[in-house]
Structure 1
């Protein structure tokens, strides 16, 4: 009975390189979704079976995975690191952690520094997913997982995992509308493709209600507080602010103190992350709960599965989020 073609034989049948066949079969970035589907269909038709023993001998392993966060000053990323490191270490991998500090040049340098360590795979919360993918493909042929990236990154060929952004925006907006708010602002971190996606979702929801969408762009801590203070100082100020993170929500609390506004009597606030500290704020923060520990855990298992040649179940994952209603939201005064 025939055992099917070899990897090189399969490549010859399809008319592409063995490297491209390997990337398509193993879920690695660098090939289109269309080519990946075609390769897998022809492989099944030809009865191709990977030789895992030969692959293990051929591919050198460092038993090290990389994880790059956007900003370690956001405690939410510490939970992600915990989940990622725990899942990796259970399977015999060490983890190298870095941060881009929301600086794209630093992000590129960090990726290159990690590839010099011969990483077996990388998970990254990207500033710009397309730029990250291009840099990684130039430096490595190992698997990549994009964490908390924009939905558009699904076409990149890399795996991805994130919270459900549409559910998050909808839950926050619906909650504030149900309370009677019509002047709602979104405080976001500009420059992130994932942030621009949430802005688009927010604008569409407000437009559907016939309401004006107000977007405040954050920056450094001091800049963000200053911009929120300005937004809250006008006669037609927002009566509610929703944010991209609990960290940004903390800055709204600071701005409210500076402008003499009381939360939630004069201003309602909704965060995103459900950090352990957020329920300790005065008043406790209403927020979107996102399980970053589970995101980290699944990102690690996806990378290791791809390295082992496994068929990755759902290579693009969106985990559910939940609105936690606490004391920072109330009907608008008057």
Structure 2
């Protein structure tokens, strides 16, 4: 059992205090500076003594002082990461990729979720600065009329704190920040090509959600251009924009299940896929006999539904790894022009699209 505090007597009382390097040095009869070098894996301590020091530190329950190390190194070894929706499995997989890069380098993650709220995002960015993070990785929120926190992000970067954007770009500042995104446009065009050329569909719909962030705008553009490219019919009423109000969503989705509706629809994120499947159940419609469906984001449940869902798969783990790798490079002193990494998606074909 690890004891976190050292007991000593003072005027007949037992006093508890945090274990220090001096306590370990006293126990072993060595200089405190030797203990410090050993615990921080610095040169100048032979392997046998280093092992003894680390074992004694473990025995006494020594915990490295975060504040003291930060004052010495001018680093907190902490990266602030802002997610837009912590309930979305995309962001959990993204964090898995980030952690695989940060953990071996002994960097910690300070997490926040913006919920697509600009003021909340701004508050978290300021809290990160107060905490002294070494860098910030963010999926930037884009509000109504393209409002964003670009000016604050610019000030943060100018102050010497690296900023990496992932999943989305801020369009008016594409060349200013490191970014890791996917080719959202091409992902939708490829899905349309599969629906039209391979599966014989000619009437297509698209389902989006408010707010229309960068990724959804790109997917919308891909849909319009893809339909025109492959000479496919679509109607404005077949382009459904959902919200976080499920009751309202069910009303809006009714149009796609009408006999005069599309034969196939593309969902543009995981939540939308769930809403379409709920609507199909409510209106007693079947996937794919009444409506074919392509989802975006390949989560495990897509394989487990009664009809497994054909899905556009994002390389989410790779997005996380790339964002973290860029951040490590910046913290190591790399001074190159901003990197803009664009990754490709993969269409995972299952059983939710009917051949016509």
Under a length normalisation based on structure 1, what TM-score does the superposition of the two structures give? 0.76
Judged with a 3 Å threshold, the aligned counterparts in structure 2 of structure 1 residues 153 and 169 are, in CA distance, closer, same or farther, namely farther
Judged with a 3 Å threshold, the aligned counterparts in structure 2 of structure 1 residues 323 and 151 are, in CA distance, closer, same or farther, namely farther
Does residue 199 (structure 1) correspond to residue 216 (structure 2)? The answer is: no
- Which of 135, 150, 162 in structure 2 is aligned with 1:121? 135
| Structure 2: gaps spanning 5 or more residues | 1-70
**Within 5 Å, which residues of 2 pair with 1:45-64?**
60-64=74-78
- Which of 110, 117, 120 in structure 2 is aligned with 1:103? 117
- Which of 155, 165, 169 in structure 2 is aligned with 1:138? 155
Looking at structure 2, the residues matched to 151 and 204 of structure 1 have their Cα atoms a distance apart, in angstroms, of 22
Match of 1:212 in 2: 234
Alpha-carbon displacement from aligned partner over 1:42-95 (angstroms, at most 9, x marks no partner): xxxxxxxxxxxxxxx998321110111111121111010111122112112110
Looking at structure 2, the residues matched to 296 and 153 of structure 1 have their Cα atoms a distance apart, in angstroms, of 23
Q: Which has the higher contact order (CA 8 A, sep 6+)?
A: 1
**Within 5 Å, which residues of 2 pair with 1:150-299?**
150=169, 152=171, 155-178=174-197, 179-191=199-211, 192-208=213-229, 209=231, 211-213=233-235, 214-220=238-244, 222-223=246-247, 225-299=249-323
Does residue 71 (structure 1) correspond to residue 85 (structure 2)? The answer is: yes
Judged with a 3 Å threshold, the aligned counterparts in structure 2 of structure 1 residues 175 and 78 are, in CA distance, closer, same or farther, namely same
RMSD over aligned Cα atoms:
2.5
245-254 or 210-219, which deviates more? 210-219
Match of 1:31 in 2: none
Paired residues in the alignment total: 277
Judged with a 3 Å threshold, the aligned counterparts in structure 2 of structure 1 residues 248 and 73 are, in CA distance, closer, same or farther, namely same
SS of 1:212 mapped into structure 2: coil
Looking at structure 2, the residues matched to 274 and 169 of structure 1 have their Cα atoms a distance apart, in angstroms, of 14
Match of 1:48 in 2: none
Judged with a 3 Å threshold, the aligned counterparts in structure 2 of structure 1 residues 149 and 311 are, in CA distance, closer, same or farther, namely same
Judged with a 3 Å threshold, the aligned counterparts in structure 2 of structure 1 residues 154 and 171 are, in CA distance, closer, same or farther, namely farther
Q: Is the radius of gyration larger for structure 1 or structure 2?
A: 2
Looking at structure 1, the residues matched to 172 and 91 of structure 2 have their Cα atoms a distance apart, in angstroms, of 20
| Structure 1: gaps spanning 5 or more residues | 1-56
SS of 1:211 mapped into structure 2: coil
Under a length normalisation based on structure 2, what TM-score does the superposition of the two structures give? 0.71
- Which of 317, 327, 330 in structure 1 is aligned with 2:354? 330
Looking at structure 2, the residues matched to 61 and 130 of structure 1 have their Cα atoms a distance apart, in angstroms, of 32
Looking at structure 2, the residues matched to 224 and 320 of structure 1 have their Cα atoms a distance apart, in angstroms, of 34
C-alpha deviation, 1:211, in angstroms = 2.2
